[in-house]
Amino acid sequence: MASSLATALAVAFGFATALFVSALANRAQRVLLLAAVVALALPPFVVVNCWLHYLGGTGVWRTWLNVDIFNVWGVAWLMALMLWPLTFGAAWSAWRGLDSAQLEAEPALSGFALVRWLLLPAARNSMAAAVVLTFALALNQFSIPAILQVKVLPVEFWIRFNTNLRVGDALAACWPIIVIPFAALFLLKQTKMRWSAETGPANARAFGRQLGPGVMVFTGAATVMVVGLSVALPLIQLAGAARTWTELPQVFNATIPVTTNTVLFAAWAAVLAVAMSLPVWRFRVAGLLWLFFLIPGMLLSLGIIWLFNRALLEVIYQSAAVVVLALCLRYVGPVWALIRQAFTSADTALAEAARLEGLRGWAFFRHVYLPRVAPVVFAAWYMAYLLSLWDVETITLLYPPGSETLALRAFNLLHYGHTAQVNGICLLLIVLAIAPALVYSVVRPLLFTHPLSVGHSPTNATLRR
């Protein structure tokens, strides 16, 4: 129930936010995209601690807002505030591919009618995939229900696993967390996620005009609320504590090797996931890679122990390579899906034109595929990087001596009650999360040429150059 409620709320939040953001100017869109990334990158315990501070038993808001968050609704609310960016990203990117003619062909099609008859169908497939992902992530979420004392399947699984230390018994008792990923995999196969590589001809002004003032005010208010509660509130609480800043230099100095591990593991795992996905984007059977993402991370790590803890493969098992491999496998499914979508949505007319012009090999890839695929490949890499930064569940049973990450360190410090140090680590992780996006936004214009289109067919000589 908690997962279903969380999914419903997250989808509503993400959809409303995407509507509003799609009608904003490019710069404002980028700011809100960054906010979505931060919301997705915030660790669960920071979010929970923040809300306990405000609405816990002695929370500072309880005197005027008597809302109890120690229940299913509280769990759903917090998970929704963390997971809305998935639906937001799916819908926003689907609408980026819309043509202005589609928006303006029928002037009467505006407001909620536009949403009902054009925008919702246009984003339906992408959103379906986002719903499945959101539900799977909510279903596997352990820490929020545990802290808010709500009994959910992952908590039950851990109880059984920890009591008698028999994995089989735990799985038998909590079979839905295994069955549901397979069902999710089946549903994902039926949907086609859209991730637009470039902005379509529809401009934000036309989008806003057709949405109308009523929808804009409503979705604008929803966006302010969602971004305020999911991003601003935890960050204010995090940054507002004076000890967070006084501890930050010490935390940084004390965690330099751990920070290095964190960045390297996340970056290499993401690179490996992209490298694995690129050669197999054509093969539908590679969709099975999603299973590594949908099953509980702990099961994946048990499988890796079983496979690699033997004489022949010990060199991997005893090194940090096992952590990189585990993170790569965990997130390669979504990476593959994004890359496949980027290639399949490439302009086939342009590809034909380029072939007729005699373009082959690297020149073909560079001019036809690269400008369209590169942003998505980066997005896929970035997603895997972000998810790897905070991963604890997958690597906690695997990491060899000396391979601790910031996320693991944060969990342990939290156990000792070192809140200021944990806050310092969280700030550090947020910086690490945002850094690649900032670097990319600077480097991208220098690296990639503008994508070609059929209507702007170049000469053979131009292409070869």
Partner 1 sequence: MTVYASQDQVYAEPILSEFTRATGIKVRAVYDSEAVKTVGLVNRLLREASNPQCDLFWNNEELRTRQLAGRGILRETNAWTAIGYRSRRIVINTNLVSTARAPSTLASLTNVEWRGRIALAYPLFGTTATHFLALRQHWGPAQWETWCHALQANKPLLLEGNSTVVNFVGRGEAWIGLTDSDDIAAGQRAGLPVAALPLNPETLLIPNTVALIRGSRNQDTADELRAFLQRPETIERLIAAGALEGLQAPGTGVTTDWSALLNDLDSATDTLRAIFVR
Kindly list the residues in this chain that would bind partner 1 in the complex (CB under 8 A).
Answer: 56-58, 143, 146-147, 149-151, 158-159, 161-165, 298, 302, 305-306, 309-311, 314, 317-318, 392-393, 396-397, 399-402, 404, 408, 411-412, 414-417
Residue matched to tokens 């690699």 = 308
* Closest distance of CB 158 from partner 1, Å: 6
179-196: b (≥16 Cβ within 10 Å) or e = ebbeebbeebeebbbbbb
* Closest distance of CB 397 from partner 1, Å: 5
* Closest distance of CB 318 from partner 1, Å: 7
Q: Do the beta carbons of residue 376 and residue 344 sit within 8 Å?
A: no
Cβ proximity to partner 1: between 72 and 202 the closer is: 72
Cβ proximity to partner 1: between 62 and 209 the closer is: 62
User: What's the CA gap between 56 and 66, in Å, rounded?
Assistant: 10
Cβ proximity to partner 1: between 164 and 190 the closer is: 164
Name the amino acid, one letter, at 321: A
* Closest distance of CB 265 from partner 1, Å: 15
* Closest distance of CB 398 from partner 1, Å: 8
Q: What is the CA radius of gyration of the chain?
A: 23
Contacts of 210 (CB under 8 A, 6+ apart): 103, 104, 109, 110, 114
* Closest distance of CB 258 from partner 1, Å: 11
- List C-alpha distances in Å: 452 to 211, 237, 346, 366, 463: 30, 46, 11, 10, 10
Cβ proximity to partner 1: between 347 and 393 the closer is: 393
Q: Six-digit token pair at 261?
A: 């591990």
* Closest distance of CB 385 from partner 1, Å: 20
Cβ proximity to partner 1: between 10 and 147 the closer is: 147
DSSP string, 385-414: HHHHHH--TTTTTTPPTT---HHHHHHHHH
* Closest distance of CB 56 from partner 1, Å: 6
User: What's the CA gap between 98 and 207, in Å, rounded?
Assistant: 10
Cβ proximity to partner 1: between 36 and 395 the closer is: 395
Cβ proximity to partner 1: between 291 and 397 the closer is: 397
- List C-alpha distances in Å: 146 to 154, 172, 244: 9, 21, 25
Cβ proximity to partner 1: between 248 and 302 the closer is: 302
